Amino acid sequence: MRLHLRGVVLPDDDVRDLWVRDGLISFEPVAGADTLGGTGWIVPGLVDAHCHVGLRYGGGDEDRAGAIAQAETERDVGALLLRDAGSPIDTRFIDEREDLPKIIRAGRHIARPKRYIRELGIELDDERDLPQIVAEQARFGDGWVKIVGDWIDRSVGDLSPLWSDAILKEAIDAAHREGARVTAHVFGEDALPALIDAGIDCIEHGTGLTDETIDMMVRHDVALVPTLVNIATFPEIADSATKYPVYAAHMRDLHRRVRDTVAAAHAAGVRIYTGTDAGGSIEHGRIAEEIDALAGAGLTRHEALGASSWKAREWLGRPGIAHGEPADFVVYESDPRTTLEALAAPAYVVLRGRVYPRRDPVTGHR
């Protein structure tokens, strides 16, 4: 397929022509290219950096057909690069499909018994096994490993860390020796200092960040994926935890101040990227809402879009719009930085040079 487009190319706001040939972007004219009409704003493919393809909505493992449907949903909203941040199934069969987004895998969640969602992750009876399991998941994944940093401890009735400081250091060092980066699920405050000191590369959620731990993240260059779409469910989680009133109050407080927390992290210089936590309790295809939520938490709309596009792709080692690189981009009729409605309505999604027009929201047809 040979294509020609003309529009405002972000992030530089340059009005220019692009061509596509053999699935690659060309800045030079391509003979015989079909001009794609109605182009306006052209954005490097969006990134959902916390997205669980293979985890069924409502819980449990997805089958192949269900996982493919999840990936299709992400593609159709322009999310063309997904970091799975832990999945209960092996989704490598997705790689066989040229029409589906690229998934960067983090293996399975690593947790302790009764200290995470049941049967979702690998549960270690003895924390001394953590470095070995982290190394195994590093070799299985695509350059990332996911550990659970904190969860409710029913014996104390609140969030608490899962691992000792020393074992975290050993485990993260083991991942780094395998060439992998490590990220951690963290809701509360107490698990953060040890994770950051141990060399963690990224924090998921991060609702318990304080001025002190934000400063630590800046000094150690730790990224943050705040998953604001997920954090919006904290009041519901609190309502279901009547047996644990301290935990419930804690979750409500984390929810109440999350936008101020993200704004403080951004102002301090923490690198922030988008992730919806799709899968389980969050439906797929909500990346536009996550970008919009970041724009309401201290980031400009340009910065929020960058956190889900050119900046996120650079962080994950994937190219943006450049000559000779894969033709993975999203085309909008109006500036996607203006409103949620504009961002949620791409005119075209181009993945590996193939065009996917907008679906009709009523019929589902293109």
Judgement on whether residues 167 and 24 belong to the same structural domain of the protein: no
Position 365 in a domain: no
pLDDT of residue 57: 84
Whether the CB-CB separation of 74 and 284 falls below 8 Å is answered with yes
The values of phi and psi at residue 228, to 5°, are: -65, -30
Cα–Cα distance for residue pair 290/281, rounded to 1 Å: 15
Position 125 in a domain: yes
Residue 234 has pLDDT above 60, yes or no: yes
Task: Take residue 90 and report the two structure tokens written for it.
Answer: 């092996």
pLDDT of residue 357: 84
Position 100 in a domain: yes
Judgement on whether residues 166 and 253 belong to the same structural domain of the protein: yes
Q: Which domain holds residue 195?
A: 47-315
Dump pLDDT digits (tens) for 16-25: 999 999 999 9
Q: What is the DSSP letter of 347?
A: S
Dump pLDDT digits (tens) for 171-191: 999 999 999 999 999 999 999
Residue 318 has pLDDT above 50, yes or no: yes
Judgement on whether residues 127 and 164 belong to the same structural domain of the protein: yes
CA 44, distance to chain mean position in Å, is 15
Mean pLDDT, the chain, integer: 95
Position 116 in a domain: yes
pLDDT of residue 362: 46
Percent of residues, the chain, with pLDDT higher than 90: 92
Judgement on whether residues 255 and 329 belong to the same structural domain of the protein: no
Find the range with the poorest average confidence among 29-43, 76-90, 188-202, 300-314.
29-43
Position 97 in a domain: yes
pLDDT of residue 363: 47
Cα–Cα distance for residue pair 343/337, rounded to 1 Å: 7
Residue 364 has pLDDT above 70, yes or no: no
Q: Model confidence at 360, in pLDDT bands (50, 70, 90)?
A: low
Residue 114 has pLDDT above 50, yes or no: yes
Mean pLDDT of the 209-228 span? 98
Q: Would you say the C-alpha torsion 342, 347, 351, 356 has a positive or negative sign?
A: positive
Position 189 in a domain: yes
Judgement on whether residues 104 and 224 belong to the same structural domain of the protein: yes
pTM: 0.96
Residue 3 has pLDDT above 60, yes or no: yes
Judgement on whether residues 311 and 332 belong to the same structural domain of the protein: no
Rg (CA), the chain: 20
pLDDT of residue 60: 85
Q: How far apart are the first and last CA of the chain?
A: 19
pLDDT of residue 319: 97
Position 363 in a domain: no
Cα–Cα distance for residue pair 293/299, rounded to 1 Å: 9
Ranges assigned E (strand) in the chain: 2-9, 14-21, 24-26, 34-35, 41-44, 46-48, 79-83, 102-104, 110-111, 122-123, 144-148, 150-153, 158-161, 181-186, 202-205, 223-225, 329-332, 348-351, 354-357
Q: Model confidence at 366, in pLDDT bands (50, 70, 90)?
A: low
Judgement on whether residues 54 and 25 belong to the same structural domain of the protein: no
335: domain CATH number? Answer: 2.30.40.10
CB atoms within 10 A of CB 338: 12
Of 171, 175, 213, 179, the residue nearest 196 (C-alpha) = 213
291: domain CATH number? Answer: 3.20.20.140
Strand, coil or helix: 112: coil
Cα–Cα distance for residue pair 326/42, rounded to 1 Å: 14
Judgement on whether residues 175 and 304 belong to the same structural domain of the protein: yes
More confident residue, 290 or 117: 290
